[in-house]
Structure 1
Amino acid sequence: MPEHGPASGAVVASDPVPAPGGRAGRDVAAVTVVGIGADGWAGLTEPARAALGAAEVLFGSARQLALLPADPGPDRVVWPSPLLPALPGLLDAYAGRALAVLASGDPMFFGIGTTLVRLLGPDRVRVVPHPSSVSLACARLGWPVEETEVVSLVGRPLELLHRAVHPGRRLLVLGADGRAPAAVADLLTARGYGGSGLTVLESLGGPDERVHHGTAGRWGERTAGPLHIVAVECRADPDAVRLPPVPGLPDDAYEHDGQLTKREVRAITLAGLAPLPGELLWDVGAGAGSIAIEWSRVHPSCRAVAVERDPERAARIGRNAAALGVPGLRVVVGAAPEALDGLEPPDAVFVGGGLTAPGLVDRCWRALRPGGRLVATAVTLESERLVGEAYARHGGDLTRIAVNRAAPVGGFTGWRAALPVTQWTVVKR
């Protein structure tokens, strides 16, 4: 069964590594990466054994290397910890020799195979995979792999799990250590999913394979062995707060001080920003961070920078992002436009606060990539004037958004109007 901790040889695929073409990329011969399971040598295919037999130097964790026969063979090098900074130097040190790397399970699934491809390029890495822990777990549970969502918490915040928790969903959670099942159970219980079924599968495929069952609310502090995966069947309590993946979360899903883009306007704003996987948003004058957060919830690869001049609000954005499953949201504390200096050019920009700051709209427009979208909202006459001037220069669409909500009027019910919002949406051609 695959290991998930970086100290044991598994490298988080999203961690930065030197780009292909660096010194290691020029000097190192092709590297063969062989996946191995908890069943060790006995579980390897003939091509995998042949690849290891042809190696002059073999890299792996101490546990992985111990799974191989003890007879003399290639030089064995135990990965150092931390591995990532040392990896280029290790490859350089053994340049000119036939190299093989042991990886847990499928090397291209949150594994070191992905890191080596990024470092050396795909033409210099040959991968011989083994079934991943996900494949093995689904086989034991009878779950269709394509219907099961995988969340890796190896080197990543626990709060990432929030995005995946929905009634009826099946999840496989990769934990970094034996405390992961209890942490997952606590998060589920706090979210109102205490009745969710938990199955912890340890050492899958090995001689000491074990399976433990329970529910999140009754799991307690039980730990698991270092090689495990947590299977979750999400069951919502009757009063659980449901957080759908579409834009327009309830306003009370956010901690805020009143500086919050309201639900209906937020949904319309996200439609104008039109997030796509892999794109970057600047949320300028972020307030509670709702636009950046809901942009980031669209897809795991969507990125956002929330720019907020007030430190207290900036801290609140971080808490909201964690609670809503996007703890990787970057928060920049500072006043725009100065705070925008040095940021990566965005694919979309939302200006929700500080619109009247001199030069802000022009600064955002210049930074925007071709094909990028800019959305700005105004609620005062002064900000409306600026939006109108920008519309005259760049075109786009102007929309007036008026929301009325039913509210008590004496013993009856009437409509209470919220402040109207003028919204400018434009695409940079």
Structure 2
Amino acid sequence: MNKKWNYSSFGIPDSYFIRGKAPMTKEEVRAVVMGKLRLQEDNIFIDVGAGTGSVSIEAALKLSKGKVYAIEYKEEALNLLEVNKNAFELNNIEILKGRGKTELNKIEAFDRIFIGGSGGELPWIMDHALQHLSQEGRIVITAVTLETLTSALHGLKDKGFQEVEMVSIGVSKGRSTGNYTLMEAQNTIYVLSATKR
């Protein structure tokens, strides 16, 4: 078991990751995302728009016989990805530097894909996923904006994915202020998931 996270549960605390200005899927949302992925230990998993690598790392810890491809093109995020990968002592993550449209073409087939950031390439990535996911493969997409949500939802249905599901996650976290605790709301996140049949 990994030295930094000695539990089998999802939702590694955000504080375990080295963070900068790069986007990160927060721990409560990440726990839901991981559940929707339905990982098996030998899966090939792709994380598009990997950011700090929090989802890639959670997946890599579960994929004892599998592999993670973390795709990212922003320089700061790439540096954080490398630092976090090394901090968790994982050797089953391969970091691919570039845009999703370019890097996905380097991977022949895969079992699970998570799209946390698409850089405007979401329709193409969904098409590619439909063609290259294994049977019973899973796709999970997170959206912050209503435009991305709408595009993802219609895309999954129109392209013929099955078991299309959408959940809205609104998290509030307690913050101490003297003798009191205030609940601070975080951005609502939409999590879409579907299966290739």
State the alpha-carbon separation in 1 of the partners of residues 39 and 9 from structure 2. Answer: 11
1:272 maps to: 36
The CA distance in 2 between the partners of 1:405 and 1:247, in whole Å, is 18
Unaligned runs of 5+ in 1: 1-162, 166-240
1:407 aligns with 2:175: yes
Pairing 1:301–2:82 present: no
Task: Trace 1:132-211 onto structure 2 (pairs within 5 A).
Answer: 163-165=1-3
Aligned length: 192
Q: Which residue of 2 aligns with 1:377?
A: 142
Matched, 1:347 2:111: yes
TM-score normalised according to structure 1 size: 0.42
Q: Secondary structure at the match of 1:277?
A: coil
- 1:412 to partner: Cα distance: 3.5
CA distance in 2, matches of 1:408, 1:275: 36
Deviation at 1:410, TM superposition (A): 8.0
Unaligned runs of 5+ in 2: none
The answer on 1:365 being equivalent to 2:130 is yes
The higher-RCO structure (CA 8 Å, 6+ apart) is 2
Contact 1:243 1:249 in 2 (8 A): no
Question: Is residue 347–residue 373 contact of structure 1 (8 Å, CA) maintained in 2?
Answer: yes
**Structure exhibiting the larger radius of gyration computed from Cα positions:** 1
The residue number in structure 2 matching 1:291 is: 55
Cα drift, residue 361 of structure 1: 2.0
What's the CA shift for 1:411? 6.2
Match for 2:74: what amino acid? D
- Structure 2: distance between partners of 1:291 and 1:383: 19
SS at 1:270's partner residue?
helix
Determine helix, strand or coil for the equivalent of 1:272. helix
**Contact 2:126/2:156 (8 A) holds in 1:** no
Distance in 1 between residues matched to 2:156 and 2:178, nearest whole Å: 43
Report the CA distance shift for 1:310/1:413 in structure 2 as closer, same or farther (over 3 A): same
Match of 2:94 among 323, 327, 330: 330
Whichever residue aligns with residue 191 of structure 2, its letter is: Q
CA RMSD of aligned residues (A): 2.0
State whether residues 308 and 334 of structure 1, in contact with CA within 8 Å, keep that contact through their aligned partners in structure 2.
yes
Q: Cα gap change, 1:398/1:312 in structure 2, threshold over 3 Å: closer, same or farther?
A: same
Residues 275, 302 of structure 1: 8 Å contact kept = no
Contact 1:295 1:302 in 2 (8 A): no
Distance change in 2, residues 1:336/1:423 (3 Å) = same
The match for 2:11 is 248
- Bigger shift: 294-303 or 342-351? 294-303
CA displacement at 1:326 relative to structure 2: 1.0
1:54-93 equivalences in 2 (<5 Å) = none
Aligned pairs for 1:89-108 (under 5 A) are: none
Kept after mapping to 2: 8 A contact 1:355/1:383: no
Once the two structures are TM-superposed, the CA of residue 242 in structure 1 deviates from its matched residue by 5.3
SS at the partner of 2:135?
coil
> Partners in 2 of 1:321 and 1:279 — Cα distance?
18
CA distance in 1, matches of 2:192, 2:63: 25
Question: CA 1:408–1:243 in 2, change beyond 3 Å: closer, same or farther?
Answer: same
Partner of 1:419: 187
What secondary structure, in the 3-state scheme, does the structure 2 residue paired with 1:372 have?
strand
How far has the Cα of 1:409 moved from its partner? 6.2
Q: Give the 3-state SS of the residue equivalent to 2:184 in structure 1.
A: strand
Q: Distance in 1 between matches of 2:156 and 2:177?
A: 39
Q: Distance in 2 between matches of 1:365 and 1:325?
A: 32
Secondary structure of the residue that 2:106 maps to in structure 1?
coil
Q: CA 1:422 to 1:164, structure 2 compared with 1: closer, same or farther past 3 Å? A: closer
The answer to which structure has the higher strand fraction is: 2
CA distance in 1, matches of 2:92, 2:137: 22
Q: Percent identity?
A: 26
Amino acid at match of 1:247: F
* AA partner of residue 128 (structure 2): R
Q: AA paired with 2:106?
A: G
**How many Å apart are 1:246 and its aligned residue?**
2.5
- Given that 1:297 and 1:325 are in contact with CA atoms closer than 8 Å, whether structure 2 keeps it comes out as no
Q: Secondary structure at the match of 1:315?
A: helix
Give the counterpart letter for 2:15 in structure 1.
D
- What's the CA shift string for 1:207-260, capped at 9, x where partnerless? xxxxxxxxxxxxxxxxxxxxxxxxxxxxxxxxxx65423321110111122411
Distance in 2 (CA, whole Å) between partners of 1:328 and 1:398 is 30
In the TM superposition, what is the alpha-carbon distance from 1:336 to its structure 2 partner?
1.3
The 1:370/1:271 distance shift into structure 2, 3 A limit, reads same
Provide the residue aligned with 1:389 in structure 2. 154
